[in-house]
Amino acid sequence: MYDHNQTLVPDSFLALYTRNSRPTLERRELEARYEACEDLALHVAELCRNRQQGVDDAPEALHHCYDGLIAPPLSTPRPEAVWVVRRVAELLEWPVPGWVDSAGE
């Protein structure tokens, strides 16, 4: 049955929790994790925007974001932290630094 309240989870996030073409989380948990990560990305992007950080500052700002996400008390799983960093870069129209590709491993 179709649930009108389902959150549209983008493929980029869904890929974090898919193995052998099947989701590894229940739909509600997947949606909750996505919504939390999207909220984090929106807040971090706004913080960067308010600090008037530009494209030249992007690699350092994104690395600080990543470090903060994986450190306690958040201890965000690395793949989700990488997703948040990519989303922040997308929201701010910044290039994604090269280190991001190896950070989630």
Q: What are phi and psi of 19, to 5 degrees?
A: -130, 130
Residue 3 included in any domain: no
Instruction: Work out the pLDDT band at 55, boundaries 50, 70, 90.
Output: confident
- Is 55 within 8 Å of 94 (Cβ atoms)? yes
pTM greater than 0.85: yes
Short-list 30, 2, 26, CA closest to 12? 30
How many domains does the chain fold into? 1
Give yes or no for a contact between 97 and 62, defined as CB atoms under 8 angstroms apart: yes
User: What pLDDT score does 53 carry?
Assistant: 66
1 within some domain: no
pLDDT given at position 4? 53
pLDDT of residue 51: 83
Average pLDDT over residues 53-70: 87
Within-domain flag for 40: yes
Domain containing residue 21: 11-103
Domain for residue 61, yes or no?
yes
Bond into 73 cis (ω within 30):
yes
User: pLDDT tens across 79-98, in order?
Assistant: 999 999 999 999 999 999 99
Q: Is residue 98 part of a domain?
A: yes
Task: Classify residue 2: in a domain, yes or no.
Answer: no
Of 56 and 70, more confident:
70
